[in-house]
Amino acid sequence: MASITIRDVRKTYAGGFEAIKGISLDIADGEMVVLVGPSGCGKSTLLRMIAGLEAISSGEIAIDGRVVNALEPSERDIAMVFQNYALYPHMTVRQNMAYGLKNRGMAAAEIERRIAAAAASLEIGSLLERKPRQLSGGQRQRVAMGRAIVREPKAFLFDEPLSNLDAKLRVQMRVEIRKLQRSLSTTSVYVTHDQMEAMTLADRLVVLNGGKIEQVGTPIELYERPATTFVAAFIGSPAMNLIGKDALTADVAGLSLPPDVSTLGVRPEDLKIIGSQKDYPVRLAVEVGAVELVGAESYVHATTASGVEIVFRVAGRSMTAVGSRVDVGAETNAIHLFDAEGRRLEGHGQGAATREV
Ligand SMILES: Nc1ncnc2c1ncn2[C@@H]1O[C@H](COP(=O)(O)OP(=O)(O)OP(=O)(O)O)[C@@H](O)[C@H]1O
Ligand SMILES: [Mg+2]
């Protein structure tokens, strides 16, 4: 177990492209940090620099207080789990798990003890004599986890480990990885594209954007108080509605917003169809364009008079027909305000939007 300290780390690839533009982050011993961000924002690059698979152009990475910039991957005592498992096809599950330990000269009895313990916690005891090709995708992923666990590394690095699995298996493995990480208390950095994985696995969530950190916080902090429009749009599905002040002023008669407000944000779950209530700070008359029933709820896509497209969520089946007009509104405390640079306006943020009716 170990802390990981990242100090003003940069990465410029051969050819001159700067993929990581100065990142600092302290990961505590036993913590699970999840990296999210759009494709190409540098998640894998950062993970590979921690692992030692990619050289650091400048800055410092320390594991347990020791700077590891010049250490080989094998000297860092870190285990990495990828989406493509990277198991040796000609070896059995047992041999796959034992391989790294044997190379280190570990005693056979200790290797057996570790494999037995990992196999028990991952429920793969009955698969130990099989070859990878005789396993399902989920079973292979378990073996890849097992191979990481038996090393008893200082930290686990995961790069989208579940993205090859079907939806049901992903959920199951997600829960298992969380349980395992909690029980082993091994410091972990986990990269994913999956909102649910990010929200449920992370002690802290890091949103990357173009090689820089956009925001760090607990999942709920990022969800409730996104620091920028980028984070607001990235965390949450369907994404937060972000409406420009000009469009809003055209759509909402008598709306008064503080002068530094440029964008108003409201989550689809915070917009409600309202009747004649007058006490909503923002009320939008919209025309319903499409309704998606996704099981327990529906996503209603609608357009305001000035042409802004919004989404709101309705429990169960939506009773609103395509083409119908409804009024939607949000409570004051559900409104997020951002300035012209896309930064959250604090202090007078929530509750500052007022409408004279
Ligand atoms: N070996 C390389 N040489 C040059 N550029 C690279 C190299 N590897 C990655 N890049 C570039 O660096 C940027 C970050 O890549 P990286 O793989 O870290 O993104 P990512 O966030 O993991 O994306 P994804 O979500 O698609 O996996 C991308 O623009 C990519 O094209
Ligand atoms: Mg990647």
Of the listed ligands, the closest to the CA of 39 is 1
> For residue 333, how far is its CA from the centre of ligand 1 (angstroms)?
39
- Let me know: does 28 contact 200? Beta carbons within 8 Å: no
H or E element, residue 141:
helix 137-150
CB contact set of 294 (below 8 Å; sequence gap of 6+): none
Amino acid 347: pLDDT: 54
Q: What is the pLDDT of residue 30?
A: 97
The set of protein residues with a Cβ atom below 6 angstroms from ligand 1 is 13, 15, 17, 19, 37, 39-45
- 210 CA to centre of ligand 2 in angstroms: 13
CA-closest residue to ligand 1 atom 1: 13
Residue with structure tokens 């972990």?
188
Question: Residue 70: CB partners within 8 Å, gap ≥ 6?
Answer: none
For residue 82, the model assigns a pLDDT of 82
Tell how far the Cα of 292 is from the centroid of ligand 1, in angstroms: 34
The angle, 0 to 180 degrees and rounded to 10, between the axes of the packed helices 137-150 and 167-184 is 10
**pLDDT of the residue at 221:** 96
Residues of the chain with pLDDT under 70: 1, 347-357
Backbone angles phi, psi at 32, to 5 degrees: -110, 110
pLDDT recorded at residue 85: 73
Residue 54 CA to ligand 1 centre (angstroms): 11
Number of the ligand 1 atom closest to the C-alpha atom of 211? 14
